[in-house]
Amino acid sequence: MRVFSQCRVQMLPSSLLVLLLSSSLSVVTAVPPNVDLEIPVPAKDASLRSLDRNLVSWSIQNRDLPIFARSKLLENFFKALSTNIAIGQSVRLGGGESDKTTYGSDITITAQKFRSGYYGAQAQGNVTLGPNYFASFKENYAPDARYIWCLNLINTTNNFEAAISTAAGVLDYLGDELDLFEIGNEADFYGSKGFRDSEWDASMMLPEWNYIADEVQKISPNKTIRFMAGGFANPAQIVTKDFDIPGIIAAGFQSSRIPWYSMHLYPQSGCSGAVTIAPLLEHNTLSDILSTYIPQIAAAESVGAQFAIGETNTVSCVGRPGISDTFAAALWLVDYVLFAATLGIRRVYFHSTTRGSYSPIIPVKYALDSVNYTAGILPLSYGAYFISEVLSFNDTLLVSQIEGGNDTDYSSYSIWDETKKLRKIVFINLQSYNSSVGGTNPSMPDTEIYSSDEARPSTRVTVATPWEPGQELSLIRLQAPGSNSKSQVNVSSFTLSEKDGSVKSNLVDTIITVQENGDVEFDLLASEAVLIQHYSNVLANKHPTKTGSKAANSTVNGMIMRTRGADMNISHRLSLNNKFMASAFLMSVLLLFV
Ligand SMILES: *[C@@H]1O[C@H](CO)[C@@H](O)[C@H](O)[C@H]1NC(C)=O
Ligand SMILES: *[C@@H]1O[C@H](CO)[C@@H](O)[C@H](O)[C@H]1NC(C)=O
Ligand SMILES: *[C@@H]1O[C@H](CO)[C@@H](O)[C@H](O)[C@H]1NC(C)=O
Ligand SMILES: *[C@@H]1O[C@H](CO)[C@@H](O)[C@H](O)[C@H]1NC(C)=O
Ligand SMILES: *[C@@H]1O[C@H](CO)[C@@H](O)[C@H](O)[C@H]1NC(C)=O
Ligand SMILES: *[C@@H]1O[C@H](CO)[C@@H](O)[C@H](O)[C@H]1NC(C)=O
Ligand SMILES: *[C@@H]1O[C@H](CO)[C@@H](O)[C@H](O)[C@H]1NC(C)=O
Ligand SMILES: *[C@@H]1O[C@H](CO)[C@@H](O)[C@H](O)[C@H]1NC(C)=O
Ligand SMILES: *[C@@H]1O[C@H](CO)[C@@H](O)[C@H](O)[C@H]1NC(C)=O
Ligand SMILES: *[C@@H]1O[C@H](CO)[C@@H](O)[C@H](O)[C@H]1NC(C)=O
């Protein structure tokens, strides 16, 4: 949620709008019936970027976490993702309300009140947190999650008492679960919104920011406090003043306590006016927008830090039903984070609110315009789940685009291990296909259901690989009845319970083999993504399965299928252990000294 959402319409760069409009008006293209790709070895070192296990991360308005903790939905969803990636989720607690938040250690608002949504669906005024805020989700919430907390930079009263007292509470209650602080949400808008004078720029922001950072460090002298700097609203193309990463680094935001920089990105503005589903299914629109972040990434890396998209989603202002809550959003997420990773964007924080159509999970039922909506799961969560399967590996993975393997309607990636062995292939078919099946979701308002007349187009993809002939491969699909579907989405039968987010149906690997000449061949439909890897990789890593379930083999239309089960003997079991935490930490420490 963005507090300054109203102005995003005017502030969208004309070039970005032209880009979106022109692509939406373009003639309907299609993926050809045959696509032939080649993955040459050795991989070009220059094109390989390492994949952060938290590539898909989450941003939740700090006020909202207690409501998300009222049901098991988000917790179990996080557990499924974390089982695959062998590390907890990274959660940024921040958004427009960070800059309205104050803290009082004597605040008596009960934990129960926080959990009931004391500040409303969208707090208009000040948010005062106290110890009971933390008590409202602590101990009973996603134990492996690590947090980023965004502090109030707008409120200057008593030398930033709001920020500093909140930080003391956060340090007290989150302890080692806190990874980073941010100071100020979308501070590039402060001048135009009257929170600072219009001249205010990065060099004027620096002493305020440093003062708060120093004071926060004093609260906890034995712990090195680290920060994510930036958090600006404007996309890379229309930076105001020097509020971008090169700008703030030049102004002096550079030190070992800043291992991360971030900017926010909403490719479409939902605050008013027309938004469409079309750009979610256009690889070129996405890659054009993300490529404008290359100088931001380079600036962060030039000082040994990492760059993240710190808040993002399909459409700003809580999303738009019929767009953000469709399967197209899941396919978009997959292409978004993998393309971002090829550029060096290390993490992408998807913003969620308790009722937003862009959220992966709707935690509790709600009423809107005298209609009742249930708690439940939206398609975006299956895009995130598919990526957790891409990232599932007991070692560091690297990613590259497959050269010649992208177009408006499709996109493809090769995934490598540290010894530069090809490990996985991802192919995303973004061609639109509308279906009347799965057109509604009880968690979201109904929207017009479109339906395509023609049969659903299918494409045969042939990839020349260095893989040994005869090897068994696992193929899994991110699938739904159509790009417009709001329900009936799954990853090769893997589904989560709409009631509590636990695994409802186990994943079924389709087994294919590498051909004599090293080719790998598969078919996929319009609006579908596939992940291919050695079946032995699947067995080597832990995956979420239904409690007490048994693995099973079957043959369907001549295809060998293997259903995952809780009884599968995983030869190289890795749980959410300290090993990755330690290496991830070491990595960020090392980066500081590059
Ligand atoms: C927020 O707090 C300030 C200062 O206490 C007060 O003036 C203002 O009315 C409050 N706003 C709301 C909406 O409660
Ligand atoms: C600013 O912070 C002070 C605490 O230092 C608080 O009393 C006041 O209500 C806050 N103002 C607003 C507008 O939130
Ligand atoms: C910091 O560590 C020192 C030495 O271990 C200890 O004496 C001191 O109490 C600690 N301070 C805090 C605030 O924990
Ligand atoms: C919505 O839920 C409320 C409370 O449970 C109930 O009173 C109301 O009748 C429901 N409305 C509809 C349209 O079902
Ligand atoms: C990953 O698994 C392989 C095969 O079991 C093993 O050789 C390798 O050491 C493991 N790597 C890590 C980082 O655990
Ligand atoms: C992706 O497609 C564009 C347009 O056809 C092309 O210019 C670019 O080189 C392609 N990228 C890769 C990695 O093949
Ligand atoms: C599906 O419906 C959307 C929304 O009306 C439209 O933009 C798109 O072109 C349709 N796709 C097909 C293949 O007809
Ligand atoms: C998964 O999706 C496919 C394609 O939409 C569908 O045929 C299948 O029944 C679904 N499976 C589950 C378990 O939902
Ligand atoms: C399924 O087939 C594989 C390969 O032949 C075999 O290793 C495994 O034990 C079988 N699993 C079950 C449950 O039959
Ligand atoms: C699991 O596999 C390992 C090695 O592959 C083997 O030593 C062990 O006995 C197996 N455990 C079970 C319960 O089958």
Res 28: pLDDT:
59
Which bound ligand lies closest to the C-alpha atom of 537? Answer: 5
- Is the CB of 561 inside a 6 Å radius of any atom of ligand 9? no
Average pLDDT over residues 21-38: 72
Of 15-19, 121-125, 290-294, where does the model show the most confidence?
290-294
* Lining residues, ligand 5, CB within 6 Å: 394-395, 540, 572
Q: Mean pLDDT lowest for which of 90-99, 131-140, 253-262, 581-590?
A: 581-590
For the chain, how many residues are written? 594
Which bound ligand lies closest to the C-alpha atom of 560? Answer: 9
Res 138: pLDDT:
79
Of 510, 371, 348, 513, nearest to 444 (Cα)? 371
Ligand 4 probe mutation, 372, 374, 446, most atoms within 8 A of CB? 372
- Is the CB of 571 inside a 6 Å radius of any atom of ligand 10? yes
Nearest CA to ligand 6 atom 8: 404
Q: Which ligand 5 atom is at minimum distance from the Cα of 393?
A: 1
Average pLDDT over residues 385-399: 97
Q: Which ligand 5 atom is at minimum distance from the Cα of 572?
A: 5
Res 592: pLDDT:
44
Write the pLDDT tens digit of every residue in 108-128: 888 888 888 888 755 566 889
Which bound ligand lies closest to the C-alpha atom of 120? Answer: 1
For ligand 5, the distance from its centroid to the CA atom of residue 43, given in whole angstroms, is 21
Is the bond leading into 13 cis (omega within 30 degrees of zero)? no
pLDDT of 376 strictly over 60: yes
Write the pLDDT tens digit of every residue in 299-353: 999 999 999 999 999 999 999 999 999 999 999 999 999 999 999 999 999 999 9
- Is the CB of 366 inside a 6 Å radius of any atom of ligand 7? no
pLDDT of 574 strictly over 90: no
Nearest CA to ligand 5 atom 1: 394
Res 124: pLDDT:
63
Of 114, 431, 94, 415, nearest to 264 (Cα)? 94
Question: Is the Cα dihedral 181, 183, 187, 188 positive or negative?
Answer: negative
Res 272: pLDDT:
81
Which bound ligand lies closest to the C-alpha atom of 407? Answer: 6
Write the pLDDT tens digit of every residue in 3-16: 223 223 333 444 44
Of 276, 287, 388, 295, nearest to 335 (Cα)? 287
Three-class SS state of 464: strand
Residue scoring higher pLDDT (43 or 580): 43
- Is the CB of 34 inside a 6 Å radius of any atom of ligand 10? no
pLDDT band (50, 70, 90) for residue 23: very low
- Is the CB of 224 inside a 6 Å radius of any atom of ligand 2? no
Q: Mean pLDDT lowest for which of 49-53, 262-266, 427-431, 577-581?
A: 577-581
Residue scoring higher pLDDT (485 or 29): 485
Helix residue spans in 317-429 (DSSP H) = 327-343, 380-391
Q: Mean pLDDT lowest for which of 97-101, 205-209, 383-387?
A: 97-101
Distance between CA 300 and CA 309 in Å, rounded? Answer: 12
* Lining residues, ligand 3, CB within 6 Å: 221-222
Which of the 8 DSSP states describes residue 17? H
pLDDT band (50, 70, 90) for residue 143: confident
